[in-house]
Amino acid sequence: MAEKKVPFTKQQIEELTKKYPTPFHIYDKKAILENAGRLQKAFSWAPEFREYFAVKALPNPSVMKLLKSIGIGADCSSYTELMLCDMAGISGENIMFTSNETPAMEYQKAKEQGAVINLDDITHIDFLEQAAGLPELICFRYNPGPLKGGNAIIGNPEDAKYGLTREQMFEAYSICKAKGVKRFGMHTMVASNELNVDYFVETAVILFEMAAEIAEKVGIELEFINLGGGIGIPYKPEQEAVNLEVLGEKIKEKYEGILASKGLKPKIYLECGRVITGPYGYLVTQAVHEKKIYKNYVGVDACMANLMRPGMYGAYHHITVLGKENAPADTVYDVVGSLCENNDKFAVDRKLPVLEKGDFIAIHDTGAHGHAMGFNYNGKLRSAEFFLNEDGSFEMIRRAETPEDYFTTLKF
């Protein structure tokens, strides 16, 4: 069972809102560091293990700097995310650049930074060579197609736009070897928000066996294998978190049996985002209206612009009513925002304590793909972000948008 508690009190939020109105996101700095450390320890057996934080999950340089402080790099997929690395002081091979349908300027930026460039298609070899020149190190993203069953969010690999086929992988490494590339890596990403440990172990086996075959047939030893990310989190209280220690041990066993036994010892990388920061983020909002028609509705001052997942995916996010943590949850509500969209709902038919206007509500697990997926539909403005420090203080790491921000691009 996943424990769903908030690391702050109603009184702390009341004090914070005297200066900064809701809605806003809060990230528990201590919990993020402790959790990231767990992942690192679980894979400490691997040669030169490195985690690359998936920037898309929480694109804030303050978060990236925090993770950099314990040796975590950045997994980027766009020019702007590469710029965030500059802001956070992350450079060189601490950046993994994995993109698709990539413009030339993005490859040029990644090459200038010395990032690890992970190519998504065999035709991108020539494109990269013409756009920026081939670097010393090249990585390819593998799409295992029918060899791998589908993940609920990403779907079947055969239907995915990402990566090279098995046959293309051998050809791509051979082409790059002939062109003088000296160092090679391999990558895949076939899961999103997956809670089954064995799913990741199966993926590792596919990559390890491919690496051994490439060494035999192409005559190159891969410097690293990036197992991707996609480790899920328990959004619902009844779900169990992925046991990172068990995951690390199971993959270690496969690594030793398939690779180390043949004298192959590539580095192991991961590029997790959600599991690093997701459970330690909270969207704090306030009840502003109550409506009783065919159902009981509570309207809050946040909306899908602050957290898209419930409206977009029907995703569950747990809710805590601050100050009423121990009150009976015996009243059924839809908790809704103010967008002109009927799917602008944070909870549907949810049993909660009796809600009143003015109540502060904390929506859990918004530390990944929360603020990051924000938008300006209906002219809504994206919210502020805060760190919760270990001493209980709040540190603003992004201010809230203003109407001036919204109109800036129109005043040209």
Domain that holds residue 95: 43-272
| pLDDT score at 112 | 97
User: pLDDT-based confidence at 3, cuts 50/70/90?
Assistant: confident
Q: Is residue 5 part of a domain?
A: no
DSSP 3-state assignment of 237? coil
272 annotated binding-site participant: yes
Please, which residues bridge with residue 164 across strands?
142
Read off the pLDDT of each residue in 89-96 and give the average, rounded to a whole number.
98
Q: What is the 3-state secondary structure (H, E, C) of 24-44?
A: EEEEEHHHHHHHHHHHHHHCC
**Same domain, yes or no, for 177 and 259?**
yes
CB 367 within 8 A of CB 52: no
Radius of gyration, alpha carbons of the chain:
23
| pLDDT score at 150 | 56
DSSP 159: G
274 annotated binding-site participant: yes
Task: Answer with the one of 272, 299, 331 that is the final residue of a domain.
Answer: 272
**Same domain, yes or no, for 221 and 122?**
yes
Q: Is residue 67 part of a domain?
A: yes
Distances (CA, A) of 188 to 99, 128, 134, 197: 12, 20, 21, 16
Q: Is the pLDDT of residue 158 over 80?
A: no
Which residue in this structure is represented by tokens 């929506």?
363
**Same domain, yes or no, for 14 and 94?**
no
| pLDDT score at 105 | 97
Residue among 85, 139, 176, 340 flagged as catalytic: 340
Torsion of CA 16, 18, 22, 26, to 10 degrees: -10
230 annotated binding-site participant: yes
CB 307 within 8 A of CB 281: no
| pLDDT score at 295 | 96
**Same domain, yes or no, for 58 and 78?**
yes
50 annotated binding-site participant: no
**Same domain, yes or no, for 304 and 189?**
no
**Same domain, yes or no, for 77 and 166?**
yes
The whole-angstrom separation of Cα 227 and Cα 270 is 5
Read off the pLDDT of each residue in 227-244 and give the average, rounded to a whole number.
96
254-284 residue pLDDT tens:
999 999 999 999 999 999 999 999 999 999 9
Write phi, then psi, for 351 (nearest 5 degrees): -80, 120
User: pLDDT-based confidence at 349, cuts 50/70/90?
Assistant: very high
Read off the pLDDT of each residue in 334-361 and give the average, rounded to a whole number.
97
4-39 residue pLDDT tens:
999 999 999 999 999 999 999 999 999 999 999 999
134: which 2 tokens? 């081939």
Mean pLDDT computed over every residue of the chain:
95
273-318 residue pLDDT tens:
999 999 999 999 999 999 999 999 999 999 999 999 999 999 999 9
The per-residue b/e assignment along 316-332, b for 16 or more CB within 10 angstroms, e otherwise, is bbbbbbbebeeeeeeee
Read off the pLDDT of each residue in 84-107 and give the average, rounded to a whole number.
97
| pLDDT score at 161 | 73
Q: Is residue 403 part of a domain?
A: yes
**Same domain, yes or no, for 77 and 208?**
yes
313 annotated binding-site participant: yes
Task: Answer with the one of 243, 272, 301 that is the final residue of a domain.
Answer: 272
Q: Is residue 245 part of a domain?
A: yes
The whole-angstrom separation of Cα 25 and Cα 30 is 16
Q: Is residue 32 part of a domain?
A: no
Q: Is residue 221 part of a domain?
A: yes
pLDDT above 70 covers a percentage of the chain that reads: 96
**Same domain, yes or no, for 296 and 267?**
no
The per-residue b/e assignment along 61-72, b for 16 or more CB within 10 angstroms, e otherwise, is bbbbebbbeeeb
Residue 347 belongs to domain with CATH number: 2.40.37.10
Read off the pLDDT of each residue in 51-62 and give the average, rounded to a whole number.
98
Q: How many residues does the chain have?
A: 412
**Same domain, yes or no, for 249 and 355?**
no
Distances (CA, A) of 26 to 81, 362, 388: 21, 10, 6
Residues 6+ apart with CB under 8 A from 30: 388, 389, 390
Residue 146 belongs to domain with CATH number: 3.20.20.10
Strand 296-300 versus strand 281-292 pairing type = antiparallel
Q: Is residue 265 part of a domain?
A: yes
Is residue 340 part of the annotated active site? The answer reads yes
User: pLDDT-based confidence at 171, cuts 50/70/90?
Assistant: very high
Q: Is residue 235 part of a domain?
A: yes
| pLDDT score at 191 | 84
**Same domain, yes or no, for 247 and 286?**
no
**Same domain, yes or no, for 204 and 301?**
no
Q: Is the pLDDT of residue 376 over 70?
A: yes
pTM to 2 decimals? 0.95
DSSP 231: B
| pLDDT score at 84 | 98
323 annotated binding-site participant: no
**Same domain, yes or no, for 186 and 256?**
yes
372: which 2 tokens? 């990051």
Task: Answer with the one of 246, 272, 298 that is the final residue of a domain.
Answer: 272
Count of the separate structural domains present in the chain: 2
385 annotated binding-site participant: no
